[in-house]
A = this chain, B = another copy of it.
Amino acid sequence: MSELRKDPIIGRWVIVAPERSARPKEIKQTQEERGKICVLCEGGESNTPPEILAFRNPGTEPNSPGWQVRVVPNKFPALKVEGELGKSGVGIFDMMNGVGAHEVIIESPSHELDFAFLPVEQIEKVLRAYKSRILDLANDRRFRYTLIFKNQGARAGASIAHPHSQLMALPITPKRLKEELIGAKAHFDYKERCIFCDIIRQERELKTRVISEMGNFITIAPYASRFPFEMWILPSQHHSDFMSVSDDDIAGLAQILKDSLLRLAKALSNPAFNYVIHTAPYRRPRRDYWTTIDEDYHWHIEIMPRVTTPAGFEWGTGFYINPTAPEDAAQYLREEEI
């Protein structure tokens, strides 16, 4: 079974999942194993574990063709749903069992089109599947956070070309999210305003880093972008939790997500990218008497194109060098004709 281990110095959790590949020989072979027949295509339903959720044509059976979006457990999960957390200390170290959910959201029955080129109604269904799964996993009291992420292209860590994203329900809040929550709370405690709302207000006035604005959403190139052409999509009005997005807003989000990814695909000729949804954790405690829950955090999607290779500098320090000014990136992306 995999383990969650905590770095005792900085508190970062790591999943040690030896079942996914262990020995030096296997590491050397990983590259060659790729590119076989696709297990996610329509018609290959028996190649995946049984589906957890699917949006299907009326009258079709589960685990058979006739679906538009399909969610299945990851066949090689980094975390497993069965078992107790078993938190324990190992001398000065802390660990818990690798309990969690690891699911694959298959974004289209067809292998051919990249996510950005799917019809907007299809993207909307994918986002509805995200929301539905986050809501369902909220019922499991062991989980603190459900992370939705997408790896597109080998350079972004994707091992399967078929359009898909992934989900991990975690018994911990990931370090980066915790930092955002703490930073946003500090700002709120001092100013009684959401820091993300403040950023949106300023970006709208300046306009130089705004890529697009559609309905209730805005896409910006963040001021301190780590990566060339990094984009954040945020709800323009304050909203802490992706789990409570309305159906209307899911439709609007699908539009701006498609628009933003199409701009990126055109500007950089279909680069590899990752995106991650940052949202409030489950069951966020009320931390004090003068802040109501959800006033200080603001959910958003971070899109990270993978066009540069992060070097030792970045890995070893959490300090990034970005060769493209976000203002320039925003201008290029704005000017693409969609």
Contact = CB atoms under 8 A, between A and B. Distances in A.
Interface in A260-288: 267-269, 271, 274-276, 278
Contact of A7 (B27, B28, B222, B229): B222
A138 interface: no
A180 B195 CA distance: 26
Given A27-B268, A195-B8, A302 B276 contact: no
Chain A facing B: main interface SS? mixed
A111 interface: no
Interface string A182-199: 111001000000011011
Contact of A9 (B14, B20, B23, B183): B183
Contacts of A16: 224-225, 322, 325-326
Given A147-B313, A276-B317, 19 more contacts: A7-B223, A9-B184, A12-B224, A14-B225, A14-B319, A15-B319, A16-B326, A24-B268, A24-B332, A27-B228, A27-B307, A28-B269, A92-B198, A151-B312, A176-B318, A177-B317, A179-B318, A274-B315, A304-B316
Interface of A: 5-18, 20-24, 27-28, 30, 78, 90-93, 147, 149-151, 154-158, 166, 168, 170, 172, 174-177, 179-180, 182-184, 187, 195-196, 198-199, 202, 206, 222-226, 228-229, 267-269, 271, 274-276, 278, 302, 304, 307-326, 328, 332
12 contacts: A5-B224, A8-B187, A10-B183, A14-B321, A16-B322, A18-B328, A21-B323, A24-B332, A28-B269, A147-B313, A172-B319, A274-B311
